[in-house]
């Protein structure tokens, strides 16, 4: 390999290792650290973030990238080398736009906002979080200006999570989702009582819940020899390398779904990271290409696999054996129907497949309003209740069940929320393509075995890491750009059958 590229790689490895060290500190902060450690931890992470920024945004880095690009002139545009250069040029240009002083403030503001949010949420007291959120919104506005934009202020923020996607495109897709799914949601809500899910709300001791969640995660293909399951308040997945991709879950002793489907969800994220090609290791290409494609993998495992009839016909007896009293007299089909009960509720992470996207549309609209200065932070709780009523026909009784429920606004990560709904749409589109390309996948899924689906995902999605943009990847895998149609077909068929609609 030529030496200019080798020199660039050495620098890339150094920057990558610092980034992963920040993630280890963050993982420890969320899982093990005593709350009193927060101030010191934020200082440690801020120092590393500044160091990371200084190395990455340096003049030297720019020279290394361009020297390697010149030396590689003539390499196949599809080679790992050419794709890495393309990615680095873009992210380097973005990094240069942020002054180090801004990076420091970002880290400090988020570091202080997190414990305030935890307390505000626990005490249902929005006033405690409000001044922090005001700072976060101001930082997001500042960040948009630093990155710059042509059309909308939201564009450069969205681009950090879903490269190449414009706010206007997301708005058009969401408008179609809203219009086309509303009649189905209304029909299903009218028949909500035809599915009984009361048995899911009982006392379920945590230890057997954990045992089953580990079993289910293994059944869908998560590799525990290269993974780890931790307990947290707000579940996430993180990876330090393809050989150490971790998941977290929160356990609810009164309700089975949170721990079980949360574990499957995070397994999907971690499996994406575990499946990246080894030759991308220690470079920024060794991770999921975008938040939306990442979310498609978690939603695929959580819903398309984990909430399928075949999966529960195969695995319900095992669950029932762990909870013989709670699940006595319940059949696999009763269980399948209960975990798919669709109805408007307050909490996004517990929402069913049909109502979930409406929770996202709400956040997408409110984020833009705050960013554009059309909605004052002080008015957020009321605006939230109004939008919930408009979109889902329910009003949360508290801010804890309303605008304080998510961790996301402790950081200026505006633009992240829409990728959750995009993930649902990508997942349905990928699944439809998978069973068209290999009909045996549908047969295997009907028997509760997702192995052939996971192999397809490894081949079409996981191994590529970030070599392709989300737009390129979805066309390569499915032959089409992103569309909401496969999702509409998927939920119409599934919920039509579940609720006896014709
Ligand atoms: Zn997720």
Model confidence band, residue 349 (pLDDT cutoffs 50, 70, 90): confident
Q: Which segments of 160-308 are extended strands (E)?
A: 229-231, 237-241, 244-249
Go through the domains of the chain in sequence order and give each one's CATH number.
167-498 (1.10.1370.30)
Chain centroid to CA 121:
21
pLDDT of residue 232: 85
> Taking the complete model, does pTM exceed 0.85, yes or no?
yes
Name residues whose C-beta falls within 8 Å of residue 79's C-beta, 6 or more positions apart in sequence: none
b/e string for 457-476 if b means 16 or more Cβ within 10 A?
bbebbbbbbbbbbbbebbee
Of 396, 397, 388, nearest to 361 by C-alpha is: 388
Give the phi and the psi of residue 227 in degrees, each rounded to 5.
-150, -175
Chain centroid to CA 146:
25
pLDDT of residue 1: 57
Question: What value does the mean pLDDT take over residues 2-30?
Answer: 95
Average pLDDT of the chain is 96
Distance 292 CA to ligand 1 centre (A): 9
Distance 350 CA to ligand 1 centre (A): 12
Distance 3 CA to ligand 1 centre (A): 39
Roughly how many angstroms between the first and final C-alpha of the chain, as a whole number?
A: 62
pLDDT digits (tens, 9 = 90+) for 221-257: 999 999 999 988 778 999 999 999 999 999 999 999 9
Tell me whether residue 63 is one of the annotated catalytic residues. no
pLDDT digits (tens, 9 = 90+) for 76-91: 999 999 999 999 999 9
Q: Which of 30, 81, 162, 266 is catalytic?
A: 266
Of 221, 265, 274, nearest to 450 by C-alpha is: 221
Does residue 378 surpass a pLDDT of 60? yes
The structure tokens 């721990």 sit at 259
CA distances from 85 to 392, 428, 490 (A): 45, 32, 38
Distance 261 CA to ligand 1 centre (A): 11
pLDDT of residue 234: 79
pLDDT of residue 73: 87
Distance 137 CA to ligand 1 centre (A): 23
- Residues 473, 220: Cα–Cα separation, whole Å: 23
Residues 50, 39, 45, CA angle at the centre, nearest 5°? Answer: 25
The structure tokens 């499915």 sit at 478
Distance 269 CA to ligand 1 centre (A): 7
Of 194, 184, 192, nearest to 496 by C-alpha is: 184
Query: 113: buried, middle or exposed (CB in 10 Å: 19+, 13-18, 0-12)?
Result: buried
Distance 298 CA to ligand 1 centre (A): 6
pLDDT of residue 178: 94
pLDDT digits (tens, 9 = 90+) for 136-158: 999 999 999 999 999 999 999 99
The structure tokens 């993974």 sit at 227
pLDDT of residue 192: 87
Distance 407 CA to ligand 1 centre (A): 13
């Amino acid at each position: 390999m030529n030496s200019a590229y080798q020199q660039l790689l050495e620098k890339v490895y150094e920057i990558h290792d610092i980034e992963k060290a920040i993630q280890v500190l963050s993982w420890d902060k969320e899982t093990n650290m005593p709350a009193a450690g927060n101030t010191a931890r934020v200082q440690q992470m801020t120092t590393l973030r500044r160091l990371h920024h200084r190395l990455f945004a340096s003049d030297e880095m720019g020279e290394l990238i361009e020297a390697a690009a010149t030396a590689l002139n003539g390499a196949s545009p599809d080679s790992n080398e050419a794709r890495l250069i393309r990615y680095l040029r873009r992210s380097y240009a973005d990094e240069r736009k942020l002054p180090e002083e801004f990076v420091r403030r970002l880290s400090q503001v988020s570091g202080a906002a997190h414990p305030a949010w935890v307390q505000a949420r626990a005490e249902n007291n929005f006033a405690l979080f409000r001044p922090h959120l005001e700072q976060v919104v101001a930082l997001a506005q500042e960040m948009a200006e630093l990155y710059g934009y042509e059309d909308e202020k939201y564009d450069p923020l969205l681009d950090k999570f879903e490269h190449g996607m414009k706010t206007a495109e997301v708005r058009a897709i969401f408008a179609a989702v809203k219009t086309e799914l509303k009649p189905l949601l209304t029909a299903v809500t009218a028949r909500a009582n035809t599915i009984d899910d009361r048995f899911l709300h009982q006392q379920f001791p945590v230890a057997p819940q954990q045992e089953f969640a580990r079993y289910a995660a293994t059944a869908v293909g998560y590799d525990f020899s290269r993974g780890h399951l931790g307990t947290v308040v707000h579940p996430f997945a993180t990876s330090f390398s393809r050989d150490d991709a971790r998941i977290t879950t929160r356990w609810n002793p009164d309700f089975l779904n949170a721990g079980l489907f949360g574990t499957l969800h995070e397994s999907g994220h971690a499996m994406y990271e575990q499946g990246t090609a080894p030759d991308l290791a220690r470079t920024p290409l060794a991770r999921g290409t975008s938040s939306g494609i990442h979310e498609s993998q978690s939603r695929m495992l959580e819903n398309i696999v984990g909430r399928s009839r075949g999966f529960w016909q195969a695995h319900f007896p095992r669950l029932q054996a762990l909870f013989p009293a709670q699940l006595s007299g319940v059949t696999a089909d009763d269980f399948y129907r209960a975990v798919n009960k669709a109805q408007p509720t307050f909490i996004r992470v517990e929402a069913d497949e049909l109502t979930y996207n409406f929770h996202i549309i709400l956040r997408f609209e409110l984020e833009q309003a705050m960013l554009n200065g059309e909605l004052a932070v002080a008015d957020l709780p009321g605006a939230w209740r109004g939008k919930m009523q408009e979109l889902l026909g329910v009003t949360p009784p508290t801010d804890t069940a309303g605008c304080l429920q998510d961790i996301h606004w402790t950081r200026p990560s505006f633009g992240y929320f829409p990728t959750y709904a995009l993930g649902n749409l990508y997942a349905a589109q990928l699944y439809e393509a998978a069973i068209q390309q290999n009909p045996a996948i549908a047969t295997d899924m009907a028997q509760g075995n997702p192995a052939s689906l996971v192999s397809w995902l490894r081949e079409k999605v996981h191994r590529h890491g970030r070599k392709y943009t989300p737009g390129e990847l979805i066309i390569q895998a499915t032959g089409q750009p992103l569309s909401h149609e496969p999702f509409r077909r998927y939920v119409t068929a599934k919920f039509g059958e579940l609720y006896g609609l014709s």
